[in-house]
Amino acid sequence: MSDAASDPPLPPEATGRSPGRGRLTGRRILVVGAGQNDYGLADAPIGNGRAISALCAREGATVFGSDVSAGNLTGTSSLVAAEGSTFLAAVSDVADPDAVGALVADATDALGGLDGVVYNVGIGGGRGLDGTDAETWDRVFAVNLRGAMLVARAVLPVVDDRSSIVFISSVAGIKPGTRIPAYDSSKAGLVGLMRHVAVEGERRGIRANVVAPGLMDTSLGRVASAGRPSRTKAPIPLGRQGTAWETAYAALFLLSDESSYVTGQSLVVDGGLTTLR
């Protein structure tokens, strides 16, 4: 890792200061996992779901966001409002099939249709195989992978032709490191699910792709680093952790027409960690 004092300043895209360019003008985007738990951090950095929601609004989309907690959505609503857009929101538990169906129906009705969906949900549990019981395994998979399937199953019949579905996975699904087998396995499973969704959507031009962030400086990332200090010392080729805005710009690319010929792919946003180290 490089010396932060000598590092060049981050580009405005990486810090959320770049102006919008109308890349999603008129789009109607559902962000599942749009909220953020600050975990009591006084200086909590922005998380992936909040950054994705705000950036979509900045680029001209109307955003419907969901989270398991109403409190987690408050800050997202404020950021979207600051972009001059209205944030429509609902509390929903992706582990509940009925709740997922109601969420997709509500979002579709509220927005008058959907042409973009982001699944940004993930929990962990257990440490190592010896520390992971069946109940923990099933709970993680119910949220991280089964929830993604339920959302995809619900949105495929109702999204417009040539829509885009983006799943937020993790480099933990590519390379071991978290020591949480349920998390790693569920995030790897998202890639298989994404490919199937892409196949089912191809006749209508519906694209499905994955964004796999690496070590990101988010609230959850800081909590993870507190529990595993070696995380901050990972030999990232670009010399720093990423920001949630950098995850958001990857998702934005896949939601926009700039990626109109991209489907069934994984876009890894990790500073080169998985391929160069």
CA distance 49 to 35: 6
Ranges of beta strands (E only) in 39-91 are 62-67, 87-91
Which is catalytic among the residues 39, 183, 249, 261? 183
HSE-CB for 269 with a 13 A CA cutoff: 25
| 183 is annotated as an active-site residue | yes
Q: In what order do the strands lie in the sheet with 62-67?
A: 87-91, 62-67, 28-32, 114-119, 159-168, 207-213, 266-269
Q: Which residues are catalytic?
A: 183
